[in-house]
Amino acid sequence: MKMLITPWGNFRAWNEVTYHFDGRSERSATSLKLLVNSLEPDYVLLIVPDSLLDDREKELLLKGEPVTYETHINYIRESVKDFLSAQGLEEGRIEIFVLPGKGTFPPPRGVENGVTIRVEGEATDYFYAFLFELYKFFKNNSLFSDNDEIEVMLDLTHGLNFVPVLTYRALKEFFSLLANFRKVKFVAYNADPVVTGVTDSNINVVEEALLIPKISLERTLKDKRFFVKANHSELRRSCRENKLEELYILYGSLAFGLPLLLAEEALSIKRFYEELNEVLERCVSDCRRLTECTYEDGTFSVKRSGTFQDSVRVAVFAFSVLESLCSVVRLPEGEGVPFKTVKELHEAVFSRSPVVSYFIEKELHSLPNVFEQITSEWKLYNDYLANSDKQEQKELDDKRKDRAHPDKRNFFAHAGFERNVVELKRGSTGEILLRYRPDRKKTVKKFVREEMERFALSE
């Protein structure tokens, strides 16, 4: 599957030049036409900021007619469609996203009755909004369940201000996460600068790489209960959600290579996933609906009603993990996780990370040594090990003494299969089941939460 993503600035100011790429040439005001024809992507995502202003919208403002944020967005989208049509691009093949911008943009010099547009908000709102829209696009097009190789192509030719770097960052983080489940190739393009007097521009490959599976932990986990820091009372009510912390545990289980915890948390979160997904959808929708638009003294002001928090990113990534996980492994709904499922998780998810895979493989090789002893009752892994290990009595007594005290270092060193928290039993059909002992699950989650906070950079 091939996907081309391109962020744009003020496309109405661009001039036509002849673009060159891979032995082909195309005269156009944008590099997109040649790239679409040459690369033949399955999907094209075009991103523009809400800091643009359409001429038809200006006429309404100058007449004193009110313009809502939704109307503003629609005018921008229609303006993009008109431009694509003029360039000979099929609008139906291109998905247009109008995302949060920022800044003050006066009209060009010499323009009579011009309108200045001022957009107020945080630059990072663009990053979180783009991640959310990217996740929705994958979900709505059933792309999480498509296990084919992904080729992500980013054209940075027309990006403006902070948009290129935040687009690049969002794509790298999102697709490095998906690289845990499938092969992902990333290619970035950028054309030679087009300035006055330039008639030709070469499109260059500026980066090409296979993405390494990676989990991003560069933010702290404060404000875990909110998707949006709201300025509006109605938005504050709609954005509160107490289950967000569970997403951090699912996210952490993937980050730290904990297959049993990943399986258990995925099953748990799956039960309230749709509900939490609806909360996020509502927060984003309300944030847009409650954006204030005013026109006064020649300035059209767009003021956002809230600021997206890092919980949006964690939710998007956790939801993406859940969607991808369910496409590669069948998660059982009953009590306990079959050993077979744990092995499948290792192969489907963690085997692409050599270091993490090494620790998990070691545990999966050791666990079967106690299988012959396992009964139909839940029993601590440590009890089975104490029975099977041929050690001095003092060592056995020490193990028994430690049963009530799970060790954090051992927990991570043994890929979550810490002997004092993992229980095993034989299921009704003879399969070996594993789980975290219910009264110690809180300790397990505490270990993961503390390490996520320790590895995250302070804000």
Higher pLDDT among residues 308 and 248, named by residue: 308
Residue among 57, 144, 37 at smallest CA distance from 98: 57
How do the domains of the chain map onto residue ranges? Answer: 1-214, 335-455
pLDDT tens-place string over residues 261-312 = 999 888 778 777 887 888 888 888 988 988 999 999 999 999 998 888 888 8
pLDDT at 404 (0 to 100): 56
pLDDT tens-place string over residues 207-216 = 999 998 887 6
- Tokens standing for 401? 């003494």
What is residue 353's DSSP assignment? S
Torsion of CA 285, 118, 126, 50, to 10 degrees: 60
pLDDT at 220 (0 to 100): 46
- Tokens standing for 337? 């996780």
Domains 1-214 and 335-455 share a fold: no
Give me the helices (H) in 117-243, please.
124-140, 163-178, 233-238
**Cβ atoms of residues 436 and 423 within 8 Å:** yes
pLDDT at 109 (0 to 100): 79
Residue showing tokens 């229609």: 78
Q: Is residue 417 exposed (0-12), middle (13-18) or buried (19+ Cβ within 10 Å)?
A: buried
**Cβ atoms of residues 26 and 34 within 8 Å:** yes
Q: Is the pLDDT of residue 360 over 80?
A: yes
pLDDT at 379 (0 to 100): 94
Helix (H, G, I), strand (E, B) or coil at 152: strand
pLDDT at 108 (0 to 100): 81
**Cβ atoms of residues 143 and 135 within 8 Å:** no
Q: Is the pLDDT of residue 242 over 60?
A: no
Q: Is the pLDDT of residue 130 over 50?
A: yes
Q: Is the pLDDT of residue 71 over 70?
A: yes
| Percentage of the residues of the chain whose pLDDT score is greater than 70 | 90
pLDDT at 250 (0 to 100): 83
**Which CATH number does 335-455 carry?**
1.10.3740
Q: Is the pLDDT of residue 424 over 60?
A: yes
pLDDT at 214 (0 to 100): 81
- Tokens standing for 283? 């927060």
pTM of the predicted model as reported, rounded to 2 decimal places? 0.86
Q: Is the pLDDT of residue 206 over 60?
A: yes
Q: Is the dihedral of CA 423, 424, 427, 433 positive or negative?
A: positive
**Cβ atoms of residues 13 and 20 within 8 Å:** no
pLDDT tens-place string over residues 79-125 = 999 999 999 998 788 999 999 999 999 988 777 778 999 999 999 99
- Superfamily of domain 1-214 in CATH is SSO1389-like (3.40.50.10640)
pLDDT at 61 (0 to 100): 93
Torsion of CA 352, 358, 364, 367, to 10 degrees: -160
Q: Is the pLDDT of residue 219 over 80?
A: no
- How many Cα atoms occupy the beta-carbon half-sphere of 59 within 13 Å? 4
